[in-house]
Homo-oligomer: A and B are copies of this chain.
Amino acid sequence: MRLSAIHMLAASAAPVRAFVASAAPSVARFAGGSSGIFSGARQGLRGAVLASKARPVSRTMRMANSQRLGDPIGQMMDKTDVFIFDCDGVIWKGDSLIEGVPSVLDRLRQAGKRIFFVTNNSTKSRKGYKSKFDSLGLSVEPEEIFSSSFAAAAYLEQTRFKDTGKKVYIVGEVGIEEELDLIGVPHFGGPSDGSKGVELKPGFALPHDENVGAVVVGFDRMINYYKIQYAQLCINENPGCEFIATNTDAVTHLTDAQEWAGNGAMVGAIKGCTGVEPTIVGKPGPLMIDYIIQKYNVERSRICMVGDRLDTDVLFGANNGLMSILTLSGVTTEEKLLSPENKINPDYYVNSINDFFPFYT
């Protein structure tokens, strides 16, 4: 309901609050009063109300210079060949599709844009995500989906882990298992260790496999002390054993009714007992974007990252030389975005990705 209200707002004659360039005191201000990409140029709505939202552009003078007079949506579309969408909070919330999304994706494809979905959720494989997209009535190819479970496997491929003959210990769920199966890397742990405990009689040592060369830590609803200890033993006692985190999101949307502790908890547990910093293969690390650029031969500066989190999605864009759009349809409020404490600024922000096509609805 909330989303359709916002959607109406965007489609109504009232000035829309959307696509506002971000605050950064030391950079150039817009010459004009309006910085909204939806500043109503087509309908002549630009002016007084949006002026109150005018903010300096943080990242590109180019944007600041060109945005004043033109059609910001059209300009953004012109500059973008590839849209990379975060999923949770952008496409869906928990198990609920965000209203209007299928139509937005269709129109982007019709406009010749390439689309990828990048999610830090590691509980599903690409194949698992394909089923989720299908069940929500969204038609996507598995190759368009970059989950952090896939990223973990891509990292192991890139680093020729298979050639070492070693195994992976998994703290995480089935998505990681399925992706490792696809690249032929032996693994154990994960769901199978979900109900294991430790015996604490004097003299007991938990045996661990010295041939584990990497511990992959993803979100794990069945996290327990056995897995934590097993991971600790591998990382601390197996020489050269890697600690790979699919992501470190503090919270996640298991359901859309509340925020749920995310993989930041599982990774924090393993960091806390080893003192080792993980290699992060998901956002905001560069791995997935480098993979897309290389595999699909696209130009970095013509990629736009669209997400609902400042510290993963927008940072992921900024770290990787992409354009970025924050959508308020997920975990980040406008208040948080615009607060002086926030140092991570997107190029634009929208209420939801429906705001990409406000004039056609």
Q: Which residues in A have some Cβ–Cβ distance to B below 8 Å?
A: 94-96, 197-198, 200-206, 220-225, 228-229, 232-233, 236, 248, 250-251, 254-262, 264-275
Contact = CB atoms under 8 A, between A and B. Distances in A.
A261 B225 contact: yes
Contacts of A260: 198, 229, 232
B225 A225 contact: no
- Give the number of times this chain occurs in the complex, counting copies: 2
Given A255-B201, A272-B269, A272-B271, A225 B228 contact: no
A206 B258 contact: yes
Contacts of A96: 202
Candidate in A198, A205, A262, A272 with the most chain B CB atoms within 10 angstroms: A272
Contacts of A232: 251, 259-261, 265
Contact of A248 (B204, B258, B272): B272
A261 B248 contact: no
Nearest to A264: B272
Contacts of A264: 272-273, 275
Contacts of A261: 225, 228-229, 232, 269, 273
Given A204-B255, A236-B251, A268-B268, 8 more contacts: A200-B254, A202-B255, A223-B225, A229-B260, A232-B261, A232-B265, A261-B273, A265-B269
Contacts of A220: 225
Contacts of A262: 273
A45 to B, nearest CB: 37
A201 B222 CA distance: 16
Nearest to A233: B258
A353 B185 CA distance: 49
Contact of A228 (B200, B248, B265): B265
